[in-house]
Amino acid sequence: MKFGFIMFPTQQAIPPGDFGVLLEDRGFESLFMPDHTHIPAVTPERYDVLNLAPEFKNGMDAFVALGAIAQATTTLQIGTAVLLVTERDPIVTAKEVASVDVLSGGRMHFGVGPGWINQEMRNHGTNPDDRWRVMRERVEAMRQIWTHDIASYHGDFVNFDHVTSWPKPVRKPHPPILVAGNGPNVAKRVIAYGDEWIPMLRPGVLDDIAEFKKTARRPGSDEPLPVTLFGGELEDVDAYAAAGVDRVLFWVRPQDTARMTRTVDQIALHLGGRLG
């Protein structure tokens, strides 16, 4: 099992590139960046968004942070956990993902989710009722851009003809797509347009992961699909391994360099020989 981290990069926290170097030096496998383009100041729904941790509002752009990490590290796997593609233009996002993959030499992982704050989606022109269909079309459209010199896509929410876009990703056919979600339809979504499942830690999720590993297969393949657990707890890594988790991402709050170094060293000490 592999171990990595998720952190909102903020102005007051350890710089993203330095954080990547710290994790690489300690033997961790990966560093993923979360995503919120903004947090609405007022929402008509019952979301207590004003009481979210400050980093949800103050976090830097995920791709800018990943570019810094890519240039500072050599082996660390990097990615989004998760990018809210319902709030991102697919043509622009395809170029950003490919650019980070090139800068990192093929180390990019593309975690995607639909979002959960309805007003945030509406501010980007997405109807929350359509979010899963929008996400699928945008991911499918990006796959066309990555894998074709001249790409076209025609859907209900994404529609373009004869698009050329470079660079193309280093990893072929494209960086792994990690599909988020904890609902009953997530396995179908992963199989339809993803490469891996990235559930959040929730009650019952280990049973869901064990079932997914037993039953989720691509047509014509007997190989289980990988699972990355978003927000794992250090004391439960043995249970995650037993359920079939392939990668655990520890969620950490933004901290300055000295405090983050102590936090990472404590986790590394606890994991001991599990680290690569």
| Separation CA 104–CA 169 (nearest Å) | 10
- What strands, in cross-sheet order, belong to the sheet with 77-84? 196-198, 177-180, 108-113, 77-84, 30-33, 2-6, 247-251, 228-230
| Continuous segment of H or E residues that includes residue 204 | none
- Asked if omega into 134 is within 30° of 0 (cis), the reply is no
| Separation CA 229–CA 213 (nearest Å) | 13
Task: Please report the pLDDT score of residue 44 as a whole number.
Answer: 79
Strand partners, 232: none
Residue position matching structure tokens 């978003």: 230
List pLDDT tens digits, range 133-143: 999 999 999 99
pTM of the model: 0.96
Q: 196 near 223, Cβ under 8 Å?
A: no
169 phi and psi angles, rounded to 5 deg: -60, 150
Tokens in use for 125? 């022109």
| Separation CA 158–CA 112 (nearest Å) | 17
Strand partners, 110: 80, 177
Quick check: helix, strand or coil at residue 229?
strand
Task: Please report the pLDDT score of residue 192 as a whole number.
Answer: 96
Task: Please report the pLDDT score of residue 42 as a whole number.
Answer: 84
Residue position matching structure tokens 């639909």: 114
Task: Kindly list the distances between the CA atom of residue 122 and the CA atoms of 60, 70, 144, 214, in Å, as whole numbers in the listed order.
Answer: 21, 32, 26, 37
Q: Which domains does the chain have, with CATH numbers?
A: 2-136+170-274 (3.20.20.30)
Tokens in use for 195? 């490469």
Question: Which parts of the chain sit beneath pLDDT 50?
Answer: none
Task: Please report the pLDDT score of residue 14 as a whole number.
Answer: 98
